[in-house]
Amino acid sequence: MRRGRRWAGAALTAAVVLSGCGTQEAEPTVTVFAAASLKESFGTLGEKFEDEHPGTNVEFSFGGSDTLAAGITGGAPADVFAAADEATMARVTQAGEASGRPEAFARNRLAIVTLPGNPHGVRSLGDLARPELKVVLCDVSVPCGAAARTVLSTARVRVRPASYEQDVKSALTKVRLKEADAALVYATDVKAAGDAVTGVEFPEADTATNSYPITVLKNAPQPERAAEFVEFVRSAQGRRVLREAGFLEPGPGAR
């Protein structure tokens, strides 16, 4: 009896707290769906944006671009979508969910990630073909895997991977846990992992860079503020944060 009452009290408190959040119309929230690789840089950008726009909140949902795109076409109430490649963004624009044309704001390229200190002396892309190395790649169904396949086939390097990982962070994790000796991940992932790994850049990476597009969504609950956020990401300040995270400037073709 007593316990039941306590539960009821807790439920009531929760209801009050939740409804309180819902009725705070004074503080508009911009909801941003962004690719997992943007977690660090967009987190910083969100805080800066909130500082410059007092009274506006930015909320992020980070995840695989595929998953986010599926959420948007399925009716998730988001304001902005930033994808890790153009193919995924195309799914959203083809469904008529984008407001206007998506704009490229950054590019990312692959890098080799090795154990800390690079004990196996991996110097080039060709070294990944060495039989004594355990190498993991992303599966070709995800953007980093498609880029890895392009880079390796252009350079005519035949890698026999131990595994095709389901996303870039899993590939990175296998090296962080010392399960694999090397992996092909994004340059930004190497940077975000800090001292836990050592990165090796290679010139062939330029043959397959991913362009990151961003757009305001058609059914955005906060369209004006969403547009301001997109503008902020593409501003000089936004680009500096992205560059510090290891991203490249958007391609020359980008507007």
Partner 1 sequence: MSTARPAARAPLALLVPAAAGLVFLLLPLAALLLRAPWAALPAQLGSPRVWEALRLSLLTATAATALCLVLGVPLAWVLARTDFPGRRLVRALVTLPLVLPPVVGGVALLLALGRDGLVGRLLDDWLGVTLPFTTAGVVVAEAFVAMPFLVISVEGTLRAADPRFEEAAATLGASRFTAFRRVTLPLIAPGVAAGAVLAWARALGEFGATITFAGNFPGRTQTMPLAVYLALQSDPAAAVALSLVLLAVSVAVLGAMRDRWTTGVGAA
Give the interface with partner 1 as residue ranges (CB under 8 A).
64, 66, 134, 136, 139-142, 161-166, 170, 174, 177-180
CA distance linking residue 247 with residue 202, whole number of Å: 15
Q: Compute the least distance from the CB of residue 255 to partner 1, in Å.
A: 29
Dihedral sign computed on CA atoms, order 190, 250, 140, 202: negative
Q: Compute the least distance from the CB of residue 189 to partner 1, in Å.
A: 18
Q: Which residue type occupies 237?
A: Q
| Whether 71 contacts 47, CB under 8 Å | no
Question: Which residue number, 128 or 248, has a Cβ lying nearer to partner 1?
Answer: 128
Pairing of strands 57-63, 98-108: unpaired
Question: Which residue number, 97 or 165, has a Cβ lying nearer to partner 1?
Answer: 165
CA distance linking residue 111 with residue 254, whole number of Å: 23
Distant-in-sequence, close-in-space partners of 214: CB < 8 Å, separation ≥ 6: 80, 81, 82, 83, 102, 103, 104, 105, 230, 233, 234
Dihedral sign computed on CA atoms, order 2, 3, 7, 8: negative
Q: Which of 181, 184, 199 is nearest to 131 (CA)?
A: 181
Residue 232: Cβ within 10 Å count: 18
Question: Which residue number, 161 or 246, has a Cβ lying nearer to partner 1?
Answer: 161
Q: Compute the least distance from the CB of residue 183 to partner 1, in Å.
A: 11
Q: What is the DSSP letter of 27?
A: S
Question: Which residue number, 57 or 163, has a Cβ lying nearer to partner 1?
Answer: 163
CA distance linking residue 193 with residue 150, whole number of Å: 24
Q: Which helix (H) or strand (E) holds 103?
A: strand 98-108
Question: Which residue number, 157 or 162, has a Cβ lying nearer to partner 1?
Answer: 162
Tokens of residue 10, six digits: 């807790």
Q: Compute the least distance from the CB of residue 147 to partner 1, in Å.
A: 14
Question: Which residue number, 63 or 221, has a Cβ lying nearer to partner 1?
Answer: 63
Q: Compute the least distance from the CB of residue 111 to partner 1, in Å.
A: 20
Q: Compute the least distance from the CB of residue 48 to partner 1, in Å.
A: 33
Question: Which residue number, 52 or 179, has a Cβ lying nearer to partner 1?
Answer: 179
Q: Compute the least distance from the CB of residue 148 to partner 1, in Å.
A: 14
Tokens of residue 6, six digits: 């306590």
